[in-house]
Amino acid sequence: MCGTYTGRCDLKLPASLQCISLQEGGCSSEWLCSLLITLSSLDHSVQCKLWDFVLQSSEETRGDEAHTHISDLISEKLSHDLSNIKMFVKNGNTELFELLRDTSIGIIGLMTAYCASLASEILHTLNRLTKLYLWGTFTGRCDLKLPSSLQCISLQEGECSSEWLCSLLITLSSLDHPVKCELWDYVLQSSEEILGVEAHTHISDLRSEILSHDLSNIEIFMENGSKKLFKLLRDTSIGILDLRTANYAS
């Protein structure tokens, strides 16, 4: 779909639908809320993709009188089980992620590092989230606040620093159940490359920190590895390691 949508979403969707892709345009909070409620009524997994789509507030679209109405709709949305919905966001904003706060979205994909940054404050509130997909470049310390329900984090395409990956693994180790970390087309850069030689002491401290944590609940699935990555994992307590090529095993 393309275009601008306001008011309550009145689409009558077929039971066979597997994906709705919002390509270009925009919609009100009210319209997206009611679309998610409609998708939740399907008894199978369904994807909702937000590409170059801008979320506007109902106040912007219809005036201040919409505030009470959208609050009621948000309450209605929270009462629905949205765990069958997989949401992929390319062009997100703060308002979109606030709209998702405390919902039961099952899977979310963040197509840029900027989206991940905006979503970081609400991720831990997604009480039924089982899988998180990430794209983009990540440096510095990983500050993602992950929900206790998370079972898999999938790094799809991009790159990250040693510091970021170290701190992500430390964050995953705090979950009290098995969790999978998938590395697909992801390139690991050293913190020295990104931050300069002065980062050497800092990354050494981070290595000491990661060795002090129990990572036995983590399974690492590796499609794209490197010597730097394996050195990062040296002496750690990773529980399961899945190497997809003979080269990586070597």
pLDDT, residue 153, reads 98
Q: What residue has token string 């399974």? A: 219
Q: Quote the CA–CA distance of 223 and 229 in Å, as a whole number.
A: 12
Residue 157 within a domain: yes
For residue 226, being part of any structural domain is answered with yes
- Residue 174: predicted pLDDT: 95
What is residue 151's predicted lDDT score, i.e. its pLDDT? Answer: 98
- CA-nearest of 216, 232, 215 to 161 is 232
**Closest to 115 in 3D by CA, of 86, 100, 135:** 135
Each residue's pLDDT tens digit, 192-246: 554 555 556 676 788 888 999 999 999 999 988 888 899 889 999 999 999 988 9
Tokens of 128: 């039924």
How many helices and strands (H and E) does the chain possess?
Answer: 10, 10
Residue 170's pLDDT is 95
Task: State which residues of the chain have pLDDT below 70.
Answer: 57-70, 190-201, 203
- pLDDT for the residue numbered 242: 95
63 assigned to some structural domain:
no
For residue 99, is it within any domain? no
**Sole residue written with tokens 């899977």:** 107
pLDDT number for residue 190: 64
Measured between alpha carbons, how far is 82 from 125 in angstroms, rounded to an integer? 14
Residue 159, domain member (yes or no): yes
Tell me how far the alpha carbon of residue 194 is from its chain's centroid.
24
pLDDT above 70 as % of the chain: 89
Q: Is residue 44 part of a domain?
A: no
Q: What is the pLDDT of residue 60?
A: 53
In the chain, the number of structural domains is 1
In a domain, 154, yes or no: yes
Instruction: Measure Cα distances from 125 to 42, 73, 129, 141, 171 in Å.
Output: 23, 18, 9, 21, 16
Looking at residue 63, what is its pLDDT? Answer: 54
Contact 181, 168 (CB under 8 A): yes
Range of the domain at 225: 130-250
User: Does residue 148 lie in a domain region?
Assistant: yes
Report if pTM > 0.95: no
